[in-house]
Amino acid sequence: MDFTHILLLAAAGVAAGAVNAIAGGGSLITFPSLIATGLPTVDANVTNSVSVFPGYVSSVVGSRADLAGQGRRVRAALPAAVLGSAAGCALLLLTPARAFEIVVPFLVLGAAATLAFQERLRGLVGHPRAMSPRRAAVTLPTVVFAGAVYGGYFGAALGVMYVAVLALILDESLKRINALKNVLSATVGFVTLVVFAAFADVDWGAVAILAPAAIVGGYVGARLARRLPQRVLKYVIVTFGTTVGLILLYRAVTG
């Protein structure tokens, strides 16, 4: 790896950490950067998953003030996040990727649209305050599990998906939902780290460059997200999610 590659990965790590903290989708920055250094696609994917995990952790630290009072919710969601991400990792390691690559762009675009039209959709499915305790207890783990499967498999725009669906089912501000998203993303990231470190070909040299950079970007991004007005934060997430989805769709069609 030459000096140009090192600079590329360092810059990509900072940018991806910040994007993951604010909106999700930072893997769209680091994944192609790893490809540019010469890594095969699958190796780049698993190396990316391992590299961005520290950035998720720093995002949690940066947004911890907005986690106040969400302890019970976090504890209810974590088992689903662990199981779902483990299942997603297994899918990546054991099955062909092409079919899922075709589905992924539509999942990302659907998540962005869900957040954009959140209020209208609430009119169809009902406001979270009208949800029965039993339904709420089932809905949250189900949503978290489905997102974690995707996150274990590929993960780009996982944050966009989580924010979109959590905003639909939880009666919370977007900033507090974003903080919960950071915890769930960090959980998914930890599982992928353990699984891929044990069973996949990780480029640890690239990880040594990307991970510290993602930590810096993740903390800065989380602090910035807390200062953004609600409407601006929503606009940023929807815009970035739509962009990620269109790029992934282009890759699926042309790949």
Whole-number pLDDT of residue 128: 67
Q: What CA–CA distance (Å, rounded) separates 196 from 237?
A: 28
Residue linked to tokens 């915890």: 183
Q: Quickly tell me which residue has 């905003």 as its tokens.
A: 167
pLDDT at 74: 95
Q: Are 74 and 67 in contact (CB under 8 A)?
A: yes
- Expressed in angstroms, the distance from the first to the final Cα of the chain is 26
pTM: 0.81
In tens digits, the chain (255 residues) has pLDDT values of 788 999 999 999 998 888 878 877 777 788 888 988 988 877 888 898 899 888 888 889 888 999 999 999 999 999 999 999 999 999 888 888 777 778 878 888 887 887 788 777 766 656 666 677 777 778 899 999 999 998 898 877 788 888 888 888 888 888 899 899 999 999 999 999 999 999 989 999 999 999 999 999 988 888 888 787 878 877 877 887 788 788 888 888 886
240 Cα distance to chain centroid: 12
Specify the pLDDT at position 226.
77
CA distances from 194 to 50, 150, 189, 191 (A): 8, 17, 9, 5
Q: What is the pLDDT of residue 110?
A: 84
Nearest CA to 111 out of 233, 237, 22 is that of 237
> Are 216 and 12 in contact, with CB atoms under 8 Å apart?
no
- Residue 204's closest CA among 215, 196, 192? 196
Rounded (10°) CA dihedral 163, 168, 171, 176: 0
Integer CA distances (angstroms), 113 to 13, 46, 169, 170, in order: 27, 28, 15, 17
User: CB-based contacts of 23: which residues, under 8 Å, 6+ apart?
Assistant: 159, 160, 163, 236, 237, 240, 241
Q: Where are the domains of the chain?
A: 3-254
Q: How many CA atoms lie within 13 A of 193 on its CB side?
A: 17
Model pLDDT, residue 116: 82
Q: Check if the beta carbon of residue 188 is closer than 8 Å to that of residue 246.
A: no
pLDDT of residue 82: 97
Looking at residue 16, what is its pLDDT?
86
